[in-house]
Amino acid sequence: MDSQIKGVSTGTTILAVTFNGGVIIGSDSRASIGGYYVSSKTINKLIQVHDRIFCCIAGSLADAQAVTKAAKFQISFHSIQMESPPLVKAAASVLKELCYNNKEELQAGFITAGWDRKKGPQVYTVALGGMLLSQPFTIGGSGSTYIYGYADAKYKPDMSKEECLQFATNALALAMGRDNVSGGVAHLVVITEEGVEHVVIPGDKLPKFHNE
């Protein structure tokens, strides 16, 4: 009998954006199987890998969880060796190495964002295959295809915290309204020198831009 190996079809919307003094990382909360069956409406895709460093996941949830578990161990060990909090770039590089060394087996991508004393707020993209990019803001997942125009038009450097929160919330709301495998609630984490603030916006409280 003929057999076919089908790829993993998944859906999500993730983003991270820097502002004056910090960075915001966010995602939707819907997990799907095969892009059709919604297995969870409330999953938190924002993973804290150190005190002021978070990553968000897209792709195969099992792959992403395995990578972040290994990365958290390595980053914590690195912090103990250095006797100081890890740099955001060091945490992103750990994820990059794990993805690159296992690129034939993994189907997961990451956005890493955080704050450190050397460079302040930073955003890094770790793509499938282990490519590492530093960007002022980035979006990812299936829902990102609907909001590239919005993000390019509305992003501006050195936004205030309030402006950045509104930008991230609007972007997630637009993607969740259009992408059938993104949805649920909006998870946002604000990371600054002072600490970390979690923000959860229920689906019925998100802004609406069209007749959904």
Mean pLDDT lowest among 38-42, 60-64, 146-150, 181-185? 38-42
Where does residue 29 fall: left (phi above 0), alpha (psi -120 to 50 degrees), or beta otherwise? Answer: alpha
The length of the chain, given as a count of residues: 212
| Residue position matching structure tokens 């998100």 | 206
- Residue 60: the pLDDT is 85
> What are the structure tokens assigned to 94, written together?
């750990």
129 is a domain residue: yes
At a CB cut-off of 8 Å and minimum separation 6, what does 5 contact?
A: none
Decide if 5 is inside a domain: no
At 20, the amino acid letter reads N
**Per-residue pLDDT at 169:** 97
Residue 8, judged by CB atoms within 10 A of its CB (0-12, 13-18, 19+), counts as middle
Asked if the structure places residue 163 within a domain, the reply is yes
- What percent of the chain stands above pLDDT 90? 69
Catalytic residue, candidates 10, 12, 138, 169: 12
Q: How many domains would you assign to the chain?
A: 1
Q: How many Cβ atoms are within 10 Å of 44's Cβ, its own excluded? A: 16
112 is catalytic: no
Residue 4: predicted pLDDT: 43
Among 7, 91, 99, which Cα is nearest to 54's? 91
Does some domain include residue 33?
yes
What CATH number does residue 54 fall under?
A: 3.60.20.10
- Asked if residues 26 and 56 have their Cβ atoms less than 8 Å apart, the reply is yes
Task: Give the model's confidence band at 34: pLDDT under 50 very low, under 70 low, under 90 confident, else very high.
Answer: low
Average pLDDT, the chain: 90
pLDDT at 114 over 80: yes
Q: pTM, whole model, 2 decimals?
A: 0.90
Q: 161-195 pLDDT, tens per residue?
A: 999 999 999 999 999 998 888 888 999 999 999 99
- 211 lies in some domain: no
